[in-house]
Chain A
Amino acid sequence: MSFKTFDETRSRAISEWEALEHSDKPRILVSNATCGQAAGALAVVEAINSELARHNIEAIVAQVGCIGLCYAGPLVNIIKPNRPRICYGNITPEIIPKLIEDYIINDNPRSDLALGTIGDGNIDGIPKLFELPMLKPQVRIVLRNCGFVDPENINHYIANGGYGSLVKALGMTPEKIIEEVKKSGLRGRGGGIGFPTGLKWELCRKSPGTVKYLICNAHEGDPGTFVDRTLLESDPHTVVEGMLIAAYAIGASEGYIYIGDEYPLAAERVRVALKQARECGLLGDDILGSGFSFNVEIRRGAGAFVSGEETALIESIERGRGVPRIRPPYPVYHGLWGKPTNVNNVETLANAPSIIEKGGDWYAGIGTEGSKGTKLFSLSGNIAYTGVAEVPFGLPLRRLVEDIGGGIANGRKLKALHPGGAMLSLIPASLVDQPIDFEGLASIGSGVGSGGMIVIDESACLVDVAYMLMSFAYSESCGKCSIGRLGTKQMLGILKDATNGKGQPEDMDLLTELSGSLALGSFCPLCGGAADPVVSLLNYFRDELEAHIKEHHCPAGVCQESV
């Protein structure tokens, strides 16, 4: 394999893609990620195939990943020759016979079922999909291919510029790559403080030793967060290419991708992607004849939230029990099997191909002073348009909720936002004009997090929500440190009493004290942040908490229901 053979692979991939794009047969593309499947996509594909057979219609039926409009799943896209693609939402197997008869046979585009069109040309009565409020504010760098390519076909990825950044990177020095990433201002997207990625790569590269490891953290255990899953299921090659670039930059020839056990489809698509990349000479020994070798192994999590913490993840690969290690030493100095190890989150790595392609300066032109580029968010909860969105840093939370998310479902008012993971503070509705930005959200006691964004309306009881979050922290606490193990238990007990009408007046002070102890004394960020939702209740929703504890009354009327 050489750069020349990649050119040939690319030409073939482009021909395959062009042939599809200019096909004289209609094409029907079904969004087939977990969210689509949960909404019934597989039954829809079955109905499409049987209807096409019944009418003896020759058409191309294929799968694509998720474009992010999960609320409208299953999504079905129909592309007739020389017509823009029409994206239909909420399609059921029962609608399929009529849709195929109306649009494919009788050329009635059924604007009543359509969400929008994609591509050149207009169709009367159907808006342009990317002009709609849920897509217009988005800047799609990481998600650029999601919903457009077949995630199990490497040629689709290559035809759309894929692995071009790897080829470019292999022509650069590792130092130059690190410089570009530093210039881009990219910061870790895994839910931590947003450590500068370029600096992490540099520390790992400069760390003494010839054996180094790259780990892609795809554990994504945070309740409410599904951005990495969406990406891995919809465009796994972007992540694989990002891993290759990072490995080359730090000088690693072996890597792992650690995927949570709740994500079987993501793991399967990554497995297929790695196999295809290997077959194309883009992964393995002496990649494209460059002398650079990189091999990746998939490791599956076994269902422990704490194993998503980078040192616990390393421990889990090495020995089994995924409990965190003391930091420092940081993994870039002393990581997997004591070797320098760079652990990056899925989304972080997925930004690398575009940064190498377009340059660090281009990337740094998006976002705010301290937070560059874009951030993926998964919207869920009491919101009209649930799904996954990619927004530039600096966008006010309000636009994420009201435009992209379509506002609160059922006409109620916003009460709070809960950015994922479970260990972040709730953001009150009064602060919804705050721009999305690492420092900005930290200044109000919360954070960007891993990208979950659970929207909570006024019908919810936040003490009940805090109790639920604490029971998660308690059950997922690994037991290594006593304050984590016991502090979460004590706080859980107090919150349980509060929701059961058994609160004692001194519980308010106890919660404050325990929150401080957990934050200060916990061994790792899991329990260190476990009290954050409660802290936000003490700060922003004190009345509601006091009503439970002192008056034994739940203003939202939720807790009485559950007692």
Chain B
Amino acid sequence: MITLVEGIKEKLSEILSRYSGEKSDLIPILQEAQDGFGYLPGEAMQEIAKFLRMPDSVVYGVATFYTQFKLAPGGKRKIRVCVGAGCHVCGGARILREVEKQLGIKPGETTDDLEHSLETVACSGSCALAPVLVVDGSVYGRMTATRVGEILEETK
């Protein structure tokens, strides 16, 4: 446990060294921390609060306000199914059901082997190719139930 905290501190101080400590640095710092750790460890948020001279609760408030920030580590692969209006009228719900079925998890959950986590996204802006699936930021368009299986297999 101590080594984990040390590792986080080290990485974090490298991130923080690029900032002057203005209150407006909070989101950019959280974004970099999340990129670095894959989520926001509690220790990291406390360090950030200290650095920005603000209460822990403010950092926690911001971290939980935005969907981008995660408080727990997710799976190796982040699967996001678009449930925006454009995808919805093109069968987005069916795609979500298929992914849920194949991974055996619901949105917000991670598989037991820590391979995949599943989320829904309100719109990924690729509605022209609806319905879409996003794997680690790469958009896959014109999704069908069959292709869901192929893509999940490919990304294992």
Enumerate chain A interface residues (CB-CB to B < 8 A): 34-35, 37-39, 70-71, 73, 220-226, 229, 260-264, 299-305, 316-322, 378-382, 386-388, 418, 420, 422, 452, 454-457, 460, 465, 468-469, 472, 475-476, 478, 562
Contacts and interface: CB of A to CB of B under 8 A. Distances in A.
Contacts of A465: 85, 88-89
Contact of A305 (B69, B122, B137): B122
A35 B139 CA distance: 8
Interface of B: 23-24, 26-28, 30-31, 58, 61-62, 65-69, 83-86, 88-90, 93, 121-130, 132, 137-142
Contacts of A386: 127-130
9 contacts: A34-B139, A35-B129, A73-B129, A262-B121, A302-B27, A320-B65, A386-B130, A387-B128, A422-B85
A35 B126 contact: yes
A225 B127 CA distance: 8
Contacts of B132: 38
B126 A319 contact: no
Contacts of A38: 126, 129, 132, 139-141
Which of A37, A455, A465 is most buried by chain B, counting CB atoms within 10 A of its CB? A37
A481 to B, nearest CB: 15
The prevalent SS among residues of A at the interface is mixed
Contact of B137 (A264, A303, A319, A380): A264
A220 B69 CA distance: 19
Contacts of B85: 223-224, 381, 418, 420, 422, 452, 454, 465, 468-469, 472
Nearest to A70: B128
Contacts of A301: 66, 68
Contacts of B123: 221-225, 262
A247 B3 CA distance: 49
A253 B122 CA distance: 35
Given A302-B31, A468-B88, A39 B127 contact: no
B86 A456 contact: no
B61 A35 contact: no
Contacts of B137: 264
Nearest to A456: B89
B81 to A, nearest CB: 13
Contacts of A456: 89
Contacts of A455: 89
B69 A302 contact: yes
A380 B88 contact: no
A460 B139 contact: no
Contact of A304 (B61, B66, B84, B89): B66
Nearest to B142: A39
Nearest to A68: B128
Given A38-B129, A226-B128, A262-B123, A562 B84 contact: no
Interface of B, secondary structure class, is: mixed
Nearest to A409: B90
Contacts of A418: 85
Contacts of B62: 320-321
Instruction: Pick the most buried of A229, A304, A318, A381: most chain B CB atoms within 10 A of its CB.
Output: A381
Nearest to B64: A321
Contacts of B58: 320
The 4 A-B pairs at the shortest CB distance, nearest first, are namely A70-B128, A223-B84, A380-B127, A302-B66
Contacts of B93: 562
A262 B139 CA distance: 10
A226 to B, nearest CB: 4
Nearest to B86: A380
Given A223-B84, A226-B125, A468-B88, A322 B130 contact: no
A301 B28 CA distance: 9
Given A222-B123, A302-B67, 6 more contacts: A38-B139, A223-B127, A263-B125, A316-B27, A320-B61, A472-B122
A380 B26 contact: no
A262 B58 CA distance: 24
Given A378-B127, A454-B127, A319 B23 contact: yes
Contacts of B90: 380-382
Nearest to A479: B65
A264 B35 CA distance: 13
Contacts of B30: 302
A34 B138 CA distance: 9
Contacts of B28: 299-300
A171 to B, nearest CB: 35
Nearest to B80: A262
A260 B126 CA distance: 14
A460 B89 contact: yes
Contacts of B27: 299-300, 302, 316, 320
B67 A34 contact: no
A186 B2 CA distance: 59
A300 B31 contact: yes
B68 A224 contact: no
A303 B130 contact: no
A355 to B, nearest CB: 27
Nearest to A317: B24
Contacts of A379: 128
A382 to B, nearest CB: 6
